[in-house]
Amino acid sequence: MLFIRSLFNLLLVFVVAGVTKQKLLPTQPKLQIGAFICLGLSLLLIFTAYQYISAGSVSTLQRLDIPLLAVLAMHQKFSLKKLLLSVLAFLLVAVLVVYTSANGENPVGYFLVLAGVALVAVNTLIQKQIAAKENIVAIMLVGCLSSICWGGLRCWQGCSSFQNMSPAILLAIFGLAVVNLTIFYLVNELYKKHPPEFVRYPYLIAAFGTMCVEMLMKQRWQSPVVIAGNTAILLVFSVLVTDRLQKRTRGAW
């Protein structure tokens, strides 16, 4: 689905470029090449990890990008509070993964997700630099091409077939493509105004909300430990993000 959605995204990018008369060629090719590699490869690694470990483990590990970005930001100004919160976040995620992991999970899956998370963090820092100077159409073009390239590789890897796709499924994927580009535009605007970990924070909120909605719809409640663990992770990450924003606000005044 990633591959087909990305094709629709590319088509929409060409339409937007034609309507707005914006240039498609990037003005920062080195950064865009870095984004091309990091974005697509991170998706490939994370999707491949599902073959080795449970979806719950993948979802939990993916949240490590926020404390990782917080630690990387400390090269500008060291903060003991931020360091301790980041360490606490890593420990909470580790405990939750150990608790929720199914027996016999392959360690390769953990390595794949962690490598993907590291690339997501690097890509977030690259995207923040790109957003300051590059026009949105060129940024979306590179993102689409990256997803097509790495998504196509994933399809080949999994021997995927598109023969059974109905018009209704294609229409749904097209709708997702429109939503995806809208989110891409909004995230790009956030990169211009806020620190990287704040930009990634809505994804954490979405993951937590998805867990709650899934429990309500399926009437299948997670164990109290899983609910408490995810809530604790959300609270720690919230403190990490809001602490950085408060310091920026005080600095502005």
The pLDDT tens digits for 112-137 are 888 998 898 888 888 888 888 888 88
Residue 11 lies in a domain: yes
Average pLDDT over residues 133-145: 84
DSSP state of 195: -
Q: Is the pLDDT of residue 102 over 60?
A: no
Residue 68 lies in a domain: yes
Q: Which pLDDT does position 253 carry in this prediction?
A: 41
CB 124 within 8 A of CB 42: no
The model's pTM is 0.74
Interatomic CA distance for residues 33 and 36, integer angstroms: 5
Nearest C-alpha neighbor of 49 from the set 97, 120, 106, 113: 113
Residue with tokens 């021997």: 159
Interatomic CA distance for residues 175 and 146, integer angstroms: 20
Residue 196 lies in a domain: yes
Q: Is the pLDDT of residue 91 over 70?
A: yes
Angle at the Cα of 191 from the Cα atoms of 187 and 194, rounded to 5 degrees: 115
Residue 7 lies in a domain: yes
Average pLDDT over residues 28-47: 85
Tell me how many domains the chain contains: 1
> Domain limits at 124?
2-248
DSSP SS3 for 51: coil
Band of residue 241 on the pLDDT scale cut at 50, 70, 90: confident
Residue 253 lies in a domain: no
43-47, 64-68, 154-158: least confidently modelled range: 154-158
Nearest C-alpha neighbor of 109 from the set 99, 122, 95, 97: 97
Residue 222 lies in a domain: yes
Residue 155: phi and psi, rounded to 5, are -65, -45
Q: Is the pLDDT of residue 26 over 70?
A: yes
Q: Is the pLDDT of residue 252 over 50?
A: no
Interatomic CA distance for residues 10 and 14, integer angstroms: 6
Q: Which residues are CB-contacts of 127 (< 8 A; sequence separation ≥ 6)?
A: 35, 139, 187, 188, 191
Residue 106 lies in a domain: yes
DSSP state of 27: S
Q: How far is CA 74 from the centre of its chain?
A: 21
Residue 46 lies in a domain: yes
H helical segments located in the chain: 2-20, 29-49, 55-62, 65-72, 80-100, 107-133, 136-157, 167-193, 196-218, 224-252
Residue 6, both tokens:
């990305």
Residue with tokens 């990256």: 146
For 170-225, what is each residue's pLDDT tens digit? 888 888 888 878 887 888 887 877 777 777 777 777 777 766 776 777 666 666 77
